[in-house]
Amino acid sequence: MRPLPVPAGSRRSIVPHAFAFTPPPRCSSLPLRSPSYVDAPRVSIQDFSLRSNLDARRYIPFLLLPCSLLLAAAVLAGADIPFPPAQRAAIDIALDKSFAATKAHGVIVGIWIPGQGSYVATRGVSDVTTKRPMGVDDHFRIGSITKTFTATALLILADEKKLGLDDPVSKYAPWVPNGEKITLRMLADMTAGLPSYTENDTWVTQAFSNFKREWTPRELVDAGLTQPPDFPPGQGWHYSNTNYVLLGLILEQVSGKKSQDLFAEKIFTPLKLMQTSWPTTSAMPSPSAHGTTVQTLNDKLDDATNRNPSWAFTAGQLISTLADRHTWVVSYTAGTLISPAMQKERLTWMTMPPNTPARAYGIGIGTDHGWLGHTGELPGYNCAAYYFPEKKAAVVIMVNTDIPVGKANPAPTILKALTAVLTPSNVPE
C-alpha cells in the first residue's frame, strides 16, 4: 500500500479503528474507490419482517443471570411485528438514500423497537461476480465487534475472581514494557498507551504481501511494541488493536482455554449464538457475503472474503449474522452475562480527547449520543450494532465493503440516516 497523506505526527492504519463512533483522522486513511467499484450493478430490493459483602458478590452473576436473560429475551421478542406503514416508508427512504451514498454493493439492516415494530431489509448483492442478492442469513466478518466479546469475557472472569481489572499486565505478561504500570482495565478502555500494530508500516507491508499467512498473537503484539508508546499509561486515549490481542493472550492464560473455546463456553452457548463463530481457516460459512476492498499493496479493488483472519485475533476475528448481532447487542449493552457491578465498570466512559462526554469509550463499548455499541471492520466488511436503552431499540447494519466515500465509512453513514428517523434527538456523529 502506498503511503497516504495523514495529519502531522500521525501514523496511518491499514484497518480503520472500527468502534462505536467515527475514529479521529489519524485512524482512517484509505484510498478512493475505483471506477469499477462505483459502477457495480445492484439487484432488486428485498424487505423482510422477522419474528423472529464479598461472599454475597461472588454469587451475584449466577443469581441474576436467569432474570437478565429473560429480560433480553423479552426485548428480542417484543419487536416482532412490522412498523406502521408511514414509519416503514420513512425508514425505507432513509435506507435507500444512505445506501446509495455509500456506493456499496450490498447491505443488510435490522431494526427492532419493542412496542413499535421491526424492520429487516436487504439492498444490493452479496457477491458482485455472481450477482446473488444479499440474504438476511449471510455471514459477515464482524471485525472489531469481536472486542465486545473479548471485553465481556474479561468481565466474566473478573466476576469469577480469576483476575482483577486493575491487575497489572506484568502479572501475566512480564515481557511487555512498562507492564507494571498498565492494567487490564487500561487495555480494555484504550488508555494503556500501547501503539496499534495495524499502524506499523513494516507490519502492514508484511501482512499485505501474503493474505494467507497465519499470524500468532505474540507476533501481532510484538509488531505493536516495536513502536514508541502513544502516551504514558492512563494519561491519554488511543484506539489500539494491540490492546485487545494482548488481552486475548491474558484471557487464554487465566482461563486455560483457547479464545474460541472461552467465547463458546461463556457467551455463544448461553445466548444460543449458533451462527457466530471463531474461524480457524480462511473459509467463510455458507451462505456468506463477499467482501470488497481496496486495502491492498497497489490500492486496487480486491475480493477480501477468504483472507486469513488470524491477524485480527481477539481484536477482530469473529464471523456472525444479523440475527446473532441483534441478540448480542441487546445482551452486552444490558450486561446480561455479568453482575451489575461489572456492567457499571463496562459503562465507565473515557472522555479524554478525542472523546467527549457525548461520544466516549468504555470497556469494549462506545456511547454516541445515547446509543451504545460498536462498529466492526475488516478489509471487505463494515458492520455496526447499537442499542438505545431509552427505547430498547436495536439497530444492526452489515455492509460487504469497507471502502469509504470521502471519510465516511458505509455502516456509520447508514446508521446516522436511520437514527435520524428513529431517534431524531439522538443521532450518532
Digit-coded pLDDT (tens) for 22-44? 333 333 222 222 222 222 322 22
User: What integer is the mean pLDDT of 214-233?
Assistant: 98
> pLDDT at position 4, please?
25
C-alpha cell at 103: 456506493
| pLDDT over 50 (residue 316) | yes
User: What integer is the mean pLDDT of 50-77?
Assistant: 40
pTM score, whole prediction? 0.85
> pLDDT at position 17, please?
44
> pLDDT at position 51, please?
24
| pLDDT over 90 (residue 334) | yes
User: What integer is the mean pLDDT of 136-144?
Assistant: 98
User: What integer is the mean pLDDT of 110-114?
Assistant: 97
> pLDDT at position 80, please?
73
At the fourth CATH level, the homologous superfamily of domain 25-101+112-372+405-422 is DD-peptidase/beta-lactamase superfamily (3.40.710.10)
| pLDDT over 90 (residue 18) | no
| pLDDT over 80 (residue 237) | yes
| pLDDT over 50 (residue 82) | yes
**Residue 346: what residue type?**
R
DSSP3 helix / strand / coil % (the chain, rounded to 5): 40, 15, 45
Coil, helix or strand at residue 192 = coil
> pLDDT at position 55, please?
30
pLDDT confidence bin for 77, thresholds 50/70/90: low
C-alpha cell at 7: 495529519
C-alpha cell at 130: 455472481
| pLDDT over 70 (residue 357) | yes
Coil, helix or strand at residue 210 = coil
| pLDDT over 60 (residue 390) | yes
> pLDDT at position 73, please?
53
Type and span of the H or E element at 126: strand 117-127
pLDDT confidence bin for 7, thresholds 50/70/90: very low
User: What integer is the mean pLDDT of 195-218?
Assistant: 97
> pLDDT at position 57, please?
29
Determine the Cα–Cα distance for residues 206 and 60; give it in Å rounded to an integer: 47
Determine the Cα–Cα distance for residues 166 and 213; give it in Å rounded to an integer: 35
User: What integer is the mean pLDDT of 80-105?
Assistant: 96
Type and span of the H or E element at 56: helix 54-77
Determine the Cα–Cα distance for residues 207 and 214; give it in Å rounded to an integer: 10
C-alpha cell at 300: 486496487
User: What integer is the mean pLDDT of 96-110?
Assistant: 98
As a whole number, the mean pLDDT across the chain is 86
Determine the Cα–Cα distance for residues 183 and 165; give it in Å rounded to an integer: 7
